[in-house]
Structure 1
Amino acid sequence: MTEKIVELIRRFSPMSSRSKEWDFLMPGPGQPKRWHEIEDEFRVLIIADPGAGKTFEAQKRARRIKERGRHAFFIRIEKIDATFDQSFEVGTAAEFAAWLASTDEAWFFLDSVDEAQLETPRALEDAVRIFGAKIYAALDRARIFITSREDAWRALPDQTLMEQHLPYGEPTPGEEDDNTSRENDPTLKQYRLAGLSEDEIALFAGHYGVSDVTEFVEAVKRANLLTLAERPFDLKALIGVWIADHRLGSRFEVLQRMIALQIQPQSAAFASVRLNAAKLRDGARILAGAVTMTGKTVIGLPAGVDTADRIDPRTLLTGWADTDIDSLLRTGLFDDIVYTSVRFRHREIRELLSAEWANELLNQPGARARVEDLFFRECYGEQIIVPRTRPILAWLILFDETVRDKALALAPEVASEGGDPSRLPLTIRQGMLRNIVNRIAIGREG
């Protein structure tokens, strides 16, 4: 599919660190805003999911401001440390020097285009420190926008880093004693890049060659795939399925097709590494199963740092060369590399692959009892579903009748918590509905 530039009017939802002591971001007060409503802030963090289009948006805004005759720069964070003069993608080092010598304001958009080159959190710290030193004499004339993935942003440490090296303004009286809110902090305003609306999905699809956009959007909604379609990266994959097949089909079919399309290297440097698609999928299944069983979502690259909170794929993919593992981890199934590690791009695709992994184990001689123990256990004399693996059951019941019957007997609602209930036999779906209605009736009578 040929890459196209589709300009959309994106929205930014307010976020905040709920507490000075809690290291995560929460939805903040207020309505979503457009670019023109946040453009005049002095310090802004924009959080975005993988594939949401944060880099494109930052580049586009820098160019728009520059076209209005203002100073604007888009800078690659990972290049600030070693080669600052070469880190500009919008604007130039000469224009930066001219701005420093002036009394004008400037807009800076700092984005890690190649997050793979930020090997440790210290690399980000060094880059911000160096950038802060470069513009120290003009900090109050600089409007700075930083983009990041949420899983790469350490809410409190990184916010403190920005405040220390890129300060602007002073805390309001009494704010330093407030331990419950940072919403009045003048230094760093936080937003999340919102997903595409249905109208934006239709506009995007039309630009990418979908002639019957209304039918396409309705097919996305029928398959319950709006959460995928709201990200440009995944929307392109859905459009690819639609154009190739002239249909989307069921949720199960769409995710299977997306896996097939995305299981190829995203980096040109690794595109030459030819691996059998079946082998890549087997490897992805194993890693998905490991993420589910361990609760560790971070997968390290072979050349990366081995830490306790990461899965080391070399211990699981026995017989694989490091280059083959690298090639797998750089496919579209995984998000961009941050600190020499990756995560599965989508929870639902990871859960589907985990179910395929479990199904393969169930079919191995003598393994069924041990595998079923991962999903069902006895607690105080009653059979229960293991909470950690419950999301996987929604997909596994499509592959294995024994597991299906056991799961639905214990909790028929499992089938509607994820997966694709439309793939179940009609008689099973009718029985599930009767069971759920009976439980509701009994609950009301009680």
Structure 2
Amino acid sequence: MQSLSRGRIGWAELLERSCSVIVAGANHGKTAELLNQARRLQDKGGHALFIRLNKIYKRDDFLDNLDIEDEEAFKRWANCSSLEILTVFVDSLDEVILKSLEDMYQALKVISQKVGNNERSVRWIFSARPAVINSEVISRMQSLLTLNSSRRPLGRQDIGAGAENISTEVQSFDLTDDDTGRETQETAEGIEVYRMEPLSRIQAERLLTLKLGSSSGAKQIYDAALNLGLDELSVSPGGLDVLRSIDLINNPPACLTDVYENIIASQSEVQSSEIERNASFGLNSSQFQSAVSQLSSASLLCSLPNIEIPTETLSPSDGVMSARKIVFSSLNESALRYFLTTNFFIDSGPHQVKVYPDRLLYFFAAKRLSFLVTCPEDAARLVRFLSWNSPSGESGVYSRFLPLAGWLATLSPLCRAEIIKVDPQACALFGDLRSNEISSNEALKCFELCLERLERSGDTIGRGLFYLTSENYWQATSVAIISNLPVFFKKYSKNNQIRNLLIQIAKVSKVDVLRGVILDEISGDYTSLLESSLALDYILDLRDEGDIKELLSAFDSSGKTNIDIASNLIGELGFDYFSVSKIAGIYVDFLVRDADLFEFNWTISKYLLVEKNSAEIAQLTLELIRQYAAINKATFDFSFDSRQFLEFFDDLAAFIVDCSQMSVDERSDVLYRLNNFIFDNFPYVYSFKRTKLVLEEKIDVRQEVLKKNNHRTLSVSARGFSVEFDI
């Protein structure tokens, strides 16, 4: 989790605080996280309750709606010593606040009176969407809850294994075999707000594997999502559910339009059961989609991306769009409040949301506007509003409207006829040329006009406001365009912008249509190919064994290695073509040359730190230690910036500790040797933040490392791995 004021913080530290609010968007895993932590505390013999606030806010006694485990936990705590701490996890704070602030106050009052009287030691942890948390909410909570002026940090046996938080201010910690908690005193503290961090790729793939029962299927879904520009859906549990439901692997989409329609259908299905349970809303799924389209088009045309959730105040905030004014005729007040907290929106500020995912904003808006266009005159009038004309005869779509114009050209034939004349780039690169609504010949003609204008007028792709991503290239991979890529490549060989565009389209399509012209252009000189990063990526992606052999030979004979080239090759080819010893040797060579290691570190962390490579990563860590130790440090000025070096080891160590494919003994051995290496070579403090996070959860690995260290304090910083653990 990320503190909104202090940097990263995790469960071990969070569970020592008097009152915390964890914020994250809808379906981000807040409920599961709080429930999991409550059950872990209970399993460890601690006192914890999990309360769904939306189920008890109108009841006099919250015990009536507790799960059996929580009811029993409360009774145990009520009958024990007054010094025992009760940790209360309160979920769904936002759902009650959206009904009314007074409902929240009364619900918390019921709970507080039950558990917070007699000055018993109570710790509060709430979950909510960030849009509902503001100073007024915090103030009301602060005035009601019993926040103790002192706290006793829970011992490790009470905390259990959870995801760790780190403050950016923490610089060191020690692993000890002391099994006791320690008393600390501090001044009265208020409510602190924390944001849940997005899922990493490893976490996302693990979660998908659990849902699918297949690690290979999880990787395929994740990669397919990235290729279609759906990265926003890959960083939360709810987003992963959408990716799984639209079935990108077994039912691959024919066009980008299908992708977005499937996402909308999936998210609508999630809401349908809730709508049925709330008959007072008086609406259905189609009304939901219509309302989203209305808000999207109004948001874009008015340049007001943030939409205000209705409050008791009738007038909207400045610079924010009022949802009430746009869709109140079709949604009553309670339905509107619920509607703006569904999966179609994500929090963007206090009582403000925006359409989610971002890419659906333009799609929804275009659906609404294309529905309103019924004749050529309508289309011409709309396109005039979205575009500009100069006295010299030039014209184009306003930069901020490029994606909207692209989808209008896709969904409305009438708009397409106008937009192609005004700005073919919008149709060719920001819509969907694979759509069934656009014929193959029409798509090819539009793409040709786009290239001609880029060449003739010096136009730039995206006009400096938008940068193309994978889905923009994929939507242009119609059969007619792909077959003509070599022709276009030769015709515009001197235009780097167009060349790069064509290579990206060929790369996304995963066909070798440009391989021949690229190799002809360099006359088979693979050394020069190494210098062209985009062309190199494309050739490597084709996985032609002959090309790879020639590239590796050119790389080996190139003398002093360029760090960007090395990063590119190792990231693409990995351990299949590079030995552990060779990667370590390249890394140490860069270290000696005092190169900037950021790109190299990022490449290995992104592409090689996957569970199938666990054995190689462990070997790489030990080989880096061996080769570093073999350096004759007296022969060069060893004044490099060691922070990047230590951050890299932090990534490696965290991955190894967390890797279940290795035994506890194997993981603890690597960590123990790495700790000694760091302690011997770096006489100053660097906080191993990621390693600390994982060690907090992997108690078995931590205990095994302590055994290897004869139960002495194990330093986990750059005088070891710093920050104190009690085992």
Larger Rg belongs to: 2
Question: Is the Cα–Cα contact under 8 Å of residues 26 and 346 in structure 2 kept in the other structure?
Answer: yes
With over 3 angstroms needed to count, the CA separation of the structure-2 counterparts of 1:393 and 1:132, relative to structure 1, is farther
With over 3 angstroms needed to count, the CA separation of the structure-2 counterparts of 1:365 and 1:329, relative to structure 1, is farther
Question: Is the Cα–Cα contact under 8 Å of residues 265 and 271 in structure 1 kept in the other structure?
Answer: no
1:307 matched residue in structure 2: 314
Question: Is the Cα–Cα contact under 8 Å of residues 72 and 108 in structure 1 kept in the other structure?
Answer: yes
State how far apart, in whole Å, the 1-side matches of 2:75 and 2:365 are.
51
Question: What does 1:308-347 align with in structure 2 at a 5 Å threshold?
Answer: 308-309=315-316, 310-312=322-324, 316=327, 329=339, 333-334=343-344, 344-347=355-358
1:437 correspondence with 2:497: yes
State how far apart, in whole Å, the 1-side matches of 2:2 and 2:195 are.
5
What is the TM-score normalised by the length of structure 1?
0.70
Question: Is the Cα–Cα contact under 8 Å of residues 77 and 87 in structure 1 kept in the other structure?
Answer: no
SS at match of 1:263: helix
1:227 to 218, 228, 232: 232
Question: Is the Cα–Cα contact under 8 Å of residues 221 and 248 in structure 2 kept in the other structure?
Answer: no
Taking only the aligned residue pairs, the percentage that are identical comes to 17
Letter in 2 for 1:13: Q
Write 1 or 2 for the structure with the bigger share of helix: 2
State how far apart, in whole Å, the 1-side matches of 2:142 and 2:113 are.
13
State how far apart, in whole Å, the 1-side matches of 2:493 and 2:12 are.
49
Structure 2 spans left out of the alignment, 5+ residues: 151-168, 170-186, 317-321, 426-452, 454-458, 501-727
SS at match of 1:49: coil
With over 3 angstroms needed to count, the CA separation of the structure-2 counterparts of 1:158 and 1:391, relative to structure 1, is farther
1:158 correspondence with 2:137: yes
SS at match of 1:144: strand
Question: What does 1:66-77 align with in structure 2 at a 5 Å threshold?
Answer: 66-77=42-53
1:256 matched residue in structure 2: 261
1:143 correspondence with 2:123: yes
1:174 matched residue in structure 2: none
CA deviations over 1:295-341 (Å, ceiling 9, x no partner):
3744779xx9683333237x6587x6869x7899499653599x999
Cα offset for 1:397? 5.2
Question: Is the Cα–Cα contact under 8 Å of residues 50 and 336 in structure 1 kept in the other structure?
Answer: yes
With over 3 angstroms needed to count, the CA separation of the structure-2 counterparts of 1:114 and 1:45, relative to structure 1, is closer
2:3 to 10, 14, 23: 14
State how far apart, in whole Å, the 2-side matches of 1:121 and 1:130 are.
15
With over 3 angstroms needed to count, the CA separation of the structure-2 counterparts of 1:29 and 1:340, relative to structure 1, is closer
State how far apart, in whole Å, the 2-side matches of 1:321 and 1:47 are.
27
With over 3 angstroms needed to count, the CA separation of the structure-2 counterparts of 1:321 and 1:133, relative to structure 1, is closer
1:215 correspondence with 2:220: yes
Structure 1 spans left out of the alignment, 5+ residues: 1-11, 17-27, 171-182, 441-446
Letter in 1 for 2:472: D
Using the TM superposition, name which of 389-398 and 36-45 deviates more.
389-398
State how far apart, in whole Å, the 1-side matches of 2:96 and 2:109 are.
20
Cα offset for 1:188? 3.0
Aligned residue pairs total 398
2:23 to 41, 47, 61: 47
1:350 matched residue in structure 2: 361
Letter in 2 for 1:149: R
2:418 matched residue in structure 1: 402
Cα offset for 1:72? 0.4
CA deviations over 1:113-147 (Å, ceiling 9, x no partner):
78167412333344345544444446672221111
2:182 matched residue in structure 1: none
State how far apart, in whole Å, the 2-side matches of 1:158 and 1:423 are.
45
Letter in 1 for 2:419: V
Q: CA RMSD in A?
A: 4.7
Question: Is the Cα–Cα contact under 8 Å of residues 45 and 147 in structure 1 kept in the other structure?
Answer: yes
Cα offset for 1:423? 1.8
1:268 correspondence with 2:273: yes
1:286 matched residue in structure 2: 294
1:202 to 205, 211, 229: 205
State how far apart, in whole Å, the 1-side matches of 2:231 and 2:131 are.
22
Question: Is the Cα–Cα contact under 8 Å of residues 54 and 147 in structure 1 kept in the other structure?
Answer: yes
State how far apart, in whole Å, the 1-side matches of 2:102 and 2:130 are.
17
State how far apart, in whole Å, the 2-side matches of 1:413 and 1:434 are.
20
With over 3 angstroms needed to count, the CA separation of the structure-2 counterparts of 1:369 and 1:72, relative to structure 1, is same
